[in-house]
Structures are given as C-alpha cells and as structure tokens.
Amino acid sequence: MITNNNITKVLSLTAGLVFSASSFAANWNIAVGDGGGSAQEALGLKFTEVLKEKTAGKHSTKLFLNGQLGSEQDTVNDAALGALDFSILASNNLAPFSPTMGILSLPYIFENLEQADKVVTGEIGAELVKNTIRDSGVRVLAWTYSGFRVLSNSKRPIKKLADLDGIVVRVPKNEIMIDTYKSWGNNPTPMAWSETFTALQQGVVDGQDTPYTTIYAMKFGEVQKYISDLHYLFLLEPLIVSEALFQSQDKATQDAMIAAGKEASKYSLQWLIDQEKTIKEELVSKYDMEINTIEDEALWASKAQAAVWPKFYESVGGKDKVNALLRSLGREEI
C-alpha cells in the first residue's frame, strides 16, 4: 500500500516516467468495479462523452467493467504508481489510503441524497479532494451518487434488528463498516468485491449491502431473495485519476478533465433520481425480490453512532470535522 511517507517520492518518480501527452491524443483506461447498467458505468460514460467533447476529440477513455483491471483498492495503488489512468470506486475503498475520506462512511452521517450532495460539492468535499492527492497520489474528479446501501440476503426478511441475528453478511474490507455491523451484534465477513457474487451463490455468506442500482447491475437477484431498505450509508463513489497523469497534461487538458468531472457528477445525481425507482420495481418484477422496511431503524442508528463514531473521530480528521459537517447540514452537533 502507498504510504504518506513515500507518496511524494512516488509521485515525483512517476511524473518523470509518464510521457507528457499534452501535445498528443490519448485513449485512457477507466477501471470500473460494477457491471453494465450501474451508477458507476453511467458516470464513466458521461465523463468520457464530455471529456471527448471538451478536448475536440483529442482525448477519450475506455471503461473496463466488473473489476477487469483489479479490485477497487488495487486500482488506487495502480493509479498512484501511474500504472492505471482512472478508476471509479466506492469512497470506503479509498478511505484506507486517505483516512479522512472515512467521514463519508460514518453510519447515518447522511439522512438523504441532498445532504450527501451538499457535502461533497462544498468546502468539505474540496478538502477531501486535497487530502486524497496528498495521501494517496490520486485526484478525485467526479462523484458517483449510487444511493443508500441496502441489505440483501437469501435467508429471511429482515425488518427489525433482532432479525439480523445469525445472518452472515459480506462487507468491504473497511474498518468503519465492519464495526458498524458489530455494533448491531453481527459478525460480518470482510471480502473483496470480486468474490462477493460467488460467495453469495455458494452460500459462503448469506447477504451483503450495496445500493439498489448495484444489486441490479450485478444481478444479485439471481442469488438473493430479500432486501431490507436500510439507510445507514449513502454510497458516494469517486472517479479518481492518477495525479502523475493529471500533472503531465497541459492546463487546457487539466481544465477539461475537471469540467468533465463536474458535469458527470451532476449527471450522476440526476441519473440516480431518475433510475432508482424503476430499478427497484424491476428487482421485484424480474427477480421476484421482496423489499422490506426496517421498522426500528432508530435503534440501528443509535447503536451504530454510539459505538462507531467516537472510535473513528481521530482518523477522519477529528470530532470538530464531524461537527463541521453536521453544522453545514443544519443538524445538531455532537
């Protein structure tokens, strides 16, 4: 893993090795963790379209879906080293490289889509971008709005916290998310995203949590029956670019990248608003999935916030940073 101690050295070396493409056309690769029809793909396609338009066809990108270019965390390392151009990945998979990004994964930090959008497009989001460049050698250009991570499983409906007992849940290799499930009395199984479908299919794990858009794109309806409409984590999935690649471009190309990222982010926000309801309906009609409301979600929230938030204040930038985020949303400070 790239560390803070050597990231400057790596960036300097890589920038020297990257052939300056400021005068030449380039076709860059984008690693995408999810499959076709996902929010990640939608953002990547829009970014590609706008970048090509703003560079008069000089620069374009190609999407590699379903983790073809490696796990989401591996792509951060690859981009930092200049071995990969772009990647779209969950913010929780970027957090191990840039810990302050973990603030976006604190359970129940966001109550709705509007709050998530306000944070990442405001001062806090800008600071996270700077921190990520400093910590991991990659730059966030855009945000994918993927929706709340809902809980799916193959065993039974989960409507109350007690129903979670005995359900083996796959979670990403992210300490905040692991501890969130532990706060609910569950012992989750950390697992790479690329292994998840097979693990669900073979019964190694009973369930997982991802947004509706991802459940549909990854065809989890083939191996899952029940969905619990949980709201503990609104998934934001940044599009990152190798900082060495970014710095090797002329200003016009850098400006085009930034502008394409902003347009793609706005498009992703509207895409989720337009698509999520239809996707939920298709999960029911196409796969006969059953969607249940969590009847005691206030209990889930209180347990998770009490156990998880204090443990991670320091890593996400301090309690003051969390309060600044809450304050920006007009919510009560802690």
Q: Is residue 257 part of a domain?
A: yes
Distance between CA 239 and CA 255 in Å, rounded?
16
Distance between CA 52 and CA 308 in Å, rounded?
43
In terms of domains, do 180 and 297 share one? yes
In terms of domains, do 163 and 302 share one? yes
What is the pTM for the complete model shown? 0.92
In terms of domains, do 179 and 33 share one? no
Query: Maximum distance among all alpha carbons in the chain?
Result: 61
Distance between CA 169 and CA 186 in Å, rounded?
8
Give residue-wise pLDDT tens across range 84-126.
999 999 999 999 999 999 999 999 999 999 999 999 999 999 9
Residues linked to residue 171 through DSSP beta bridges, in sequence order: 190
> Where are any strands of DSSP class E within 120-165?
138-148, 150-153
The pairing of beta strand 86-88 with beta strand 26-32? parallel
Distance between CA 43 and CA 45 in Å, rounded?
6
Give residue-wise pLDDT tens across range 20-63.
444 478 999 999 999 999 999 999 999 999 999 999 999 999 99
What are the tokens at 272? 């989720």
Q: Is residue 185 part of a domain?
A: yes
In terms of domains, do 176 and 306 share one? yes
In terms of domains, do 157 and 168 share one? yes
CATH number at residue 181: 3.40.190.170
In terms of domains, do 229 and 241 share one? no
In terms of domains, do 90 and 154 share one? no
> Is 16's pLDDT higher than 90?
no
Contact 118, 329 (CB under 8 A): yes
Give residue-wise pLDDT tens across range 305-332.
999 999 999 999 999 999 999 999 999 9
> Is 271's pLDDT higher than 50?
yes
Instruction: Please report, in angstroms and rounded to a whole number, the separation of the first and last CA atoms in the chain.
Output: 33
Question: Mean pLDDT of all residues in the chain?
Answer: 94
Backbone angles phi, psi at 64, to 5 degrees: -115, 105
In terms of domains, do 265 and 126 share one? yes
Count of domains observed in the chain: 2
Q: Is residue 181 part of a domain?
A: yes
